[in-house]
Amino acid sequence: MLSQKTIDIVKSTVPVLEIHGETITKTFYKNMFEAHPELLNIFNQTNQKRGRQQTALANTVLAAAKYIDNLGAIVPVVKQIAHKHRSLAVKPEHYPIVGENLLKAIKEVLGDAATDEIINAWAEAYGVIADAFIGIEKDMYKEASEQNNGWEDYKEFRVTDKVQESDLITSFYLRPADGTKVPTYLPGQYITIRINIPGEQYLCNRQYSLSVAPGHDYFRISVKKEAEGEEHEGKVSNYLHKSVQIGDKIEVTAPAGDFVLEEKDTPVVFLAGGVGITPLLSMVQTVSEKQPNRSVQFIQAANNGSVQAFRNELSEIKLADYELGFVYASPTDIDKNNPYFVKEGYVDRDVLAETIKPDADYYVCGPVPFMKSVIATLKELGVTEEKIHFEFFGPAMAL
């Protein structure tokens, strides 16, 4: 238990941290990776270079500080992060390293303003926050291990098929290299894959949603080839597209994530932007297998038909009440003749207004601008927050 004095000190330093939060976490990462370069095998270097993870951590530390006397209020956020941590094999022994370097960074950036009293209060508070994460993650490791025959972190899988789905998206079918069965998972969950790219000093890992309903003897991920950039962007996806072939081995962690389909009777609307189709495809296939009478509307947005993945799989879904629509930003004449073509442009207010039904649940996945605009418009149209379920690619806090 933290003393009231510690709680007061921690809360009163939040405004200072809000001003310096990002500088502190940047300093923290720099120091931590100098002292523990082995952690570069865990962290996504592209996120690091673009400052995304820095912001995520800064925001979370501040959020936790504000709720330090009521951490229960932020359990849903902690759980979502804990899923990511578990899927990346973050372990309890990593927490003191993060804690030590975070405190050092606070001291370095705040200078004399960081008195011993403040540092000690933060050390205590960090301990409480870290214990909350460690506790939730411990349960998740236990559950993963129980459900997956002792599989806790990375395990070798073999690429058993590689299928091009569009000009930009290729699917990889993965089966355990030791011949064991793939475990079941919840539609919407993701896996982490880890690969050793020749010429790279550290291992690279990435999360990809499972793009097929559970119940097969393989995992399927569908990877968009990202544009390659100076800040490491596209390294992993391009390597997967160009160099990883059928028969190759890659390491995989057990499925994780809390953006999952709820088995309810309400009508459901899926809104997919670009490669955000992947978890939603797994979900809609699951609805068709388990709840064929549930009312489903599926809207897929893509730039045009050549970069659109899974057009056929979506049109083959069998449901009693199923409405499918494609929205293309720059359609070709062929796209405009597609029987499911709805509109040239974006998933805007007009498109969304057509989807409004009492009690419908909305599942939204796509790039950040798509998510921001779709979620804001749904709210304007009167859809309540608890009816909007979403996930996008990148640290969740960025939304």
Length of the chain measured in residues: 399
> To the nearest whole angstrom, how small is the minimum distance from the Cβ of residue 211 to ligand HEM?
19
Q: Is 95 annotated in the active site?
A: yes
Site for ligand HEM, residues 17 to 46, rule: CB under 6 A: 39, 42-44
- Nearest distance in Å: CB 97, ligand HEM: 6
Instruction: Write down the least CB distance from residue 296 to ligand HEM, Å.
Output: 27
- Tell me which residue of 177, 173, 150 sits closest to 163, measured CA to CA: 173
Stretch that binds ligand HEM, among 21-29, 51-59, 323-331, 341-349 (CB under 6 A): 51-59
11, 66, 79, 94: residue in contact with ligand HEM (rule CB under 6 A):
94
Site string for ligand HEM, 61-90 (x = CB under 6 A): x------------------xx--xx--x-x
| Site for ligand HEM contains 279 (CB under 6 A) | no
CB of 41 to ligand HEM, least distance (A): 9
Largest CA distance in the chain: 70
Among 2, 62, 128, 397, binds ligand HEM (CB under 6 A): 397
Q: Is 206 in the site for ligand HEM (CB under 6 A)?
A: no
Contact, 263 vs 290, CB < 8 A? yes
Q: Could you say whether residue 95 binds ligand HEM (CB under 6 A)?
A: yes
Near ligand HEM in 128-157, by CB under 6 A: 129-130, 133
By beta-carbon proximity to ligand HEM, the closer residue of 83 and 294 is: 83
Which one, 98 or 275, has the nearer CB to ligand HEM? 98
Q: Which residue among the candidates 137, 165, 251, 391 is catalytic per the annotation?
A: 137
Q: Per the residue annotation, which of 29, 95, 154, 185 is the catalytic one? A: 95
Using rule CB under 6 A, residue 171 touches ligand HEM: no
Write out the binding residues for ligand HEM, residues 293-322 only, by CB under 6 A.
none
Q: Which residues bind ligand HEM (CB under 6 A)?
A: 39, 42-44, 47, 53, 56-57, 60-61, 80-81, 84-85, 88, 90, 94-95, 98, 129-130, 133, 395-397
Catalytic residues: 95, 137
